[in-house]
Structure 1
Amino acid sequence: MAHPPVSVDLRPLEATDAPLLRAIREQPAVLAWWGPLEPDFPFEVDDEVRLTILADGQVAGMIQFGEEPDPDYRYATIDLFVDAALHGRGIGTAAIRAVLRELHETRGHHRVTIDPAADNATAIRVYERVGFRPVGVLHRSERDRSTGEWRDQLLMEWLADAPRADGY
């Protein structure tokens, strides 16, 4: 059954978002990839920009990006999670496209990377849908904080000048 279209917006994190984002992060479908919560999540980092994903005006997840400022190596990285109850509705895809526009058009990045777990097929399909392409496998590069096991990540990149059907 098709879901009705969803309006997706991004905004800077607000203190009132924290309880909802923490609850989403603790959902089994999100926890499997993001691991246990840090005590001060979502405000524990200062080297990335974190934005709340709103779907029809309600908190639906979080997207973040980091930037390499050295002009000789300039690129950005992104990561995100979406409420499991909203998976399959295009919310993550819309959020990624919005961040890619910001990173490319406003912040001047020609290259953006993401590194999902190599066995996270659902996420990889979403990233491919918006134009990310596999670059290679980072073997045993991420510790699963729930199990302590090392897992592989798939390094993917989006290039501004790569041909895409929808631009972003």
Structure 2
Amino acid sequence: MEIKGDLVVLRPVDEEDAAVLHGIVREPEVAAWWAPPEGFDGMLAIVMEGGVIGAIRYDEELDEDYRYASIDIFIGARHQGRGVGTDAVRTLARWLIRERGHHRITIDPAVVNTVAIKCYRKVGFKPVGTMREYERDPISGRWRDGLLMDLLARELIG
């Protein structure tokens, strides 16, 4: 499976990608938001110009009365601020809506992660509310608030 965006291609993570992704999640700009996962099963590699530059994943609630998907993403520091994250999120959101039939998608950055929030707004995500003491900061171990954002299929930009 490959999902093509304007700048990136999303594809399942393979064994060769794991070392690259472990290096990316240890970069200070990424480690501030992501604790290194034990593995990358169920994630999609974000590929640009033939190289893996990050990963994105989705989860699905399949109960017909509550059906929706959620997204989580990280991009290596040298590729941040270039529209790559926006393209990756938009590409996956479009696929989740068109191919998987979701009408709503959520994403939940830390309240203080203004760069991520700006990226998600460009795709059409809107703030829904603050989730207090939602997650542990991977560096300090203190609880921090998360911003719940969602996107309805009709609000997808691009």
TM-score of the superposed pair, with normalisation by structure 1: 0.87
State the alpha-carbon separation in 1 of the partners of residues 54 and 149 from structure 2: 21
Q: Which residue of the partner structure matches residue 42 of structure 1?
A: 40
3-state SS in 2 of match to 1:34: coil
Q: How does 1:15-164 map to 2 (within 5 A)?
A: 15-35=15-35, 37-38=36-37, 40-43=38-41, 49-162=42-155
Deviations along 1:132-163, one digit per CA (max 9) or x if unpaired, are: 0000000111111321200000000010123x
Structure 1: 4+ residue segments shifted above 6 A: none
State the alpha-carbon separation in 2 of the partners of residues 93 and 66 from structure 1: 19
**Paired letter, 2:71:** I
State the alpha-carbon separation in 2 of the partners of residues 7 and 143 from structure 1: 32
* Fraction of identical pairs, as percent: 47
State the alpha-carbon separation in 2 of the partners of residues 138 and 7 from structure 1: 32
State the alpha-carbon separation in 1 of the partners of residues 80 and 40 from structure 2: 21
Give the greater-gyration-radius structure (CA).
Answer: 1
Residue 14 in structure 1 maps to residue 14 in structure 2: yes
- Where does the alignment leave 5 or more consecutive residues of structure 1 unmatched? 1-5, 44-48
Matched length: 153
3-state SS in 1 of match to 2:117: helix
Q: CA deviation at 1:97?
A: 1.1
- Contact 2:137 2:143 (C-alpha < 8 Å) held by counterparts: yes
State the alpha-carbon separation in 1 of the partners of residues 29 and 136 from structure 2: 17
- Contact 1:22 1:42 (C-alpha < 8 Å) held by counterparts: no
Deviations along 1:90-126, one digit per CA (max 9) or x if unpaired, are: 1111111110111000000000000000000000000
What's the Cα RMSD here?
Answer: 1.3
Q: CA deviation at 1:57?
A: 1.1
State the alpha-carbon separation in 2 of the partners of residues 97 and 161 from structure 1: 13
Q: CA deviation at 1:64?
A: 0.4
Deviations along 1:38-58, one digit per CA (max 9) or x if unpaired, are: 3x3223xxxxx3100001111
- Contact 2:32 2:138 (C-alpha < 8 Å) held by counterparts: no
